[in-house]
Chains A and B, each alone.
Chain A
């Protein structure tokens, strides 16, 4: 009985971790390659949720979930081309101010376009309800989410590790100057990374819209957690972020079970412990450009 229950909570934590992961992965990639902490990342997550609902009302839930990351990805192209690009070589305070300001602008734009009140969202009735195996109960929708997260993860990993695109990106993380010396412009790669990053964030927004409250400040709420996940995982490490997201999810779930009052603090305690023993994060690599 107790074992089954613990398993439920762990699995549940994995889903929660998967949700954090979709947002943190992009944040980590954009920081690793561009050196920019994108505080507007939460805004793309929120826009993903709003776009999915708006499209979904016309063309159905599935179309909304598929189209929303594409639409937000297009915004990502504009964001990288016209704003972010100017700040890679600048003092980090400037890009932080830019993305912080952009996050506020996005929140107000959402208020103007969709209103301040939360937007209602439901999942198709077919996806609602639990999966029950013996004593084991789980949400059908979340089980499906876990599959989607795993697929996205596999896709991103293959892209980074099994393609020539990925090789340039990984080289760019470590030695941008050397990549440039070899005659490769990193900028188109950076555009793609930003599109990928904000696209996965939008996908998280679209998938979680039926589960959580869709309101203008939802992006601000998530960015702190995503940031903590990136810090725990370690910069530049694909598996570090994956591990950290899942760890944060499971730790939160298990703390709620045994020590509910500490559930909100558990994530920060975890970060504290990790940074104490591994200042670069769990699997953080030594990236030369960040070590000066």
Chain B
């Protein structure tokens, strides 16, 4: 390659095409890898290693998670910390399962993290849980919903906070059954092509089989697909009675927007939706019945207080991942304070003996000792015709299970869940 000195009169000079293409391709590929956050550690604090996706199709959710955990840490520290020590949360972008596992190990070895927390991606949560088990440290899996994660892949160091896929299917299912939308109906599902989606599809299939619904078509959709129009045309060809989303993150938003754009006749329902993805859809695009683990309009005093503080601080209401990270750190702080220890074995013993936690819902939650899932309530919702503001779009259905029914009812039973700790 020859060059012309900067003082040359030739105004424009090009490099060789080959070099430019090679470097360009490399950089474009590198652009998706991202860069780690810079961390500073303090000596006498209790350090928590917090991993959550900040980029990619779950990135928008992860940002709320960080806001939630920060707010919990500030409140705990303002009240004197835990065991007289400050809580220090180290939050990093987990990016993908491999990176998540590497970062988790580094947080334990180098940053002196006592406990690991976080995740939304079930695939990354699985990787972190294995690192946690190897190091014999507690991992609070906050936002991952895969059943397999708490079933076949469970281990005694992992505790799962969010509701499992089975619970989400049952929450929506109860509303569908009420409206006579299952028996004899043909369902067409769109499924996120990774462990979470496969798992959700399995739970959905079980539900259809048990209640006389038919699964007449299914598409596995890669997580980086942004255009659903070819799928929509295909679905229209099959003419199912109900279209059903087993997608995750940005995928759901894209589907909702384009479903409204194409104006297909079949009603759409979904077994997974996070509030941020619903907010991102824009007015008039969302329809159907979906599940949620928590929503900011929930009519519980403690929840309302949390929403008011968060909204005042950030100028927008908390999303369900802000809530779950917030209550998760509070759960951990309670366990550390009660056991007067940050030791993983002591914490496990405390969680397993059925301690109750206020998670800003009508009923308190507790961990199940044999599979370490937090047992809690959930809600189906439909879309509000006219909300008070742009955040207010969910018409919450009745809580499931109903207040007089045992909370464990909709969770996988011992027979259904192959977990052995």
Interface residues of A in 1-37 (CB under 8 A from B): 5, 8-9, 12-13, 15-16, 31, 33-35, 37
**Proximity string of chain A (212-224) to chain B, C-beta cutoff 8 Å, 1 when within and 0 when not:** 1111010011011
Q: Is B284 within 8 A of A122, CB to CB? A: yes
A50 at the interface (CB under 8 A from B): no
Give the number of residues in A that approach B within 8 Å (Cβ atoms).
75
Distance to closest chain B CB from A120 (angstroms)? 4
By a CB distance below 8 angstroms, the chain A residues around B277 are 118
**Proximity string of chain A (233-263) to chain B, C-beta cutoff 8 Å, 1 when within and 0 when not:** 0010000000000000000110011001101
Distance to closest chain A CB from B329 (angstroms)? 20
Option from B13, B222, B254 in Cβ contact (under 8 Å) with A263: B222
By a CB distance below 8 angstroms, the chain B residues around A39 are 24, 27-28, 31
Distance to closest chain A CB from B5 (angstroms)? 8
By a CB distance below 8 angstroms, the chain A residues around B230 are 9, 12-13, 252-253, 256-257, 263
Distance to closest chain B CB from A277 (angstroms)? 17
Q: Is B260 within 8 A of A33, CB to CB? A: no
**Proximity string of chain A (249-283) to chain B, C-beta cutoff 8 Å, 1 when within and 0 when not:** 00011001100110110000000000000000000
By a CB distance below 8 angstroms, the chain A residues around B1 are 292
Q: Given A37-B24, A88-B11, A92-B15, verify A123-B31 contact (CB < 8 Å).
A: no
In the complex formed, the residue of B with least CB distance to A86 is: B6
Q: Given A89-B13, A117-B60, verify A224-B28 contact (CB < 8 Å).
A: yes
Cα of A87 to Cα of B31 in the assembled complex, Å: 21
Option from B55, B222, B233 in Cβ contact (under 8 Å) with A8: B233
A116 at the interface (CB under 8 A from B): yes
Interface size bucket, B side?
35 or more
Q: Is A137 within 8 A of B233, CB to CB? A: yes
Q: Is A213 within 8 A of B14, CB to CB? A: no
Distance to closest chain B CB from A149 (angstroms)? 15
Which stretch, A71-79, A182-190, A197-205, touches the partner chain B?
A182-190
Q: Given A93-B23, A128-B260, A220-B31, verify A142-B15 contact (CB < 8 Å).
A: no
Option from B8, B32, B60, B222 in Cβ contact (under 8 Å) with A89: B8
In the complex formed, the residue of B with least CB distance to A231 is: B21
Q: Is A176 within 8 A of B12, CB to CB? A: yes
A161 at the interface (CB under 8 A from B): no
Distance to closest chain A CB from B232 (angstroms)? 8
By a CB distance below 8 angstroms, the chain A residues around B236 are 137
Q: Is A212 within 8 A of B12, CB to CB? A: no
B390 at the interface (CB under 8 A from A): yes
B206 at the interface (CB under 8 A from A): no
Q: Is A16 within 8 A of B229, CB to CB? A: yes
By a CB distance below 8 angstroms, the chain A residues around B279 are 117-118, 120
By a CB distance below 8 angstroms, the chain A residues around B63 are 116-117
Q: Given A31-B20, A88-B13, A217-B59, verify A212-B283 contact (CB < 8 Å).
A: no
Q: Is A227 within 8 A of B9, CB to CB? A: no
Listed residue (B9, B230, B284) with the most chain A CB atoms within 10 angstroms of its CB = B230
Q: Is B12 within 8 A of A34, CB to CB? A: yes
Cα of A100 to Cα of B28 in the assembled complex, Å: 8
Cα of A180 to Cα of B8 in the assembled complex, Å: 11
A155 at the interface (CB under 8 A from B): no
By a CB distance below 8 angstroms, the chain A residues around B263 are 128-130, 139
Cα of A221 to Cα of B12 in the assembled complex, Å: 30
Distance to closest chain B CB from A288 (angstroms)? 10
Contacts A88-B14, A93-B19 aside, 20 further interface pairs with beta carbons under 8 A come to: A34-B14, A104-B31, A115-B316, A116-B59, A119-B280, A122-B284, A122-B285, A137-B233, A176-B12, A180-B10, A187-B12, A212-B226, A213-B257, A214-B280, A215-B60, A215-B250, A217-B59, A227-B25, A256-B230, A290-B16
> What are 27 residue pairs bridging A and B, where the CB atoms are less than 8 Å apart in the complex?
A5-B233, A16-B227, A35-B13, A39-B24, A39-B28, A88-B12, A89-B4, A92-B16, A115-B316, A116-B60, A117-B60, A118-B253, A118-B280, A121-B282, A128-B263, A213-B226, A217-B59, A224-B29, A231-B21, A257-B233, A260-B219, A263-B222, A289-B14, A290-B16, A290-B17, A292-B1, A292-B16
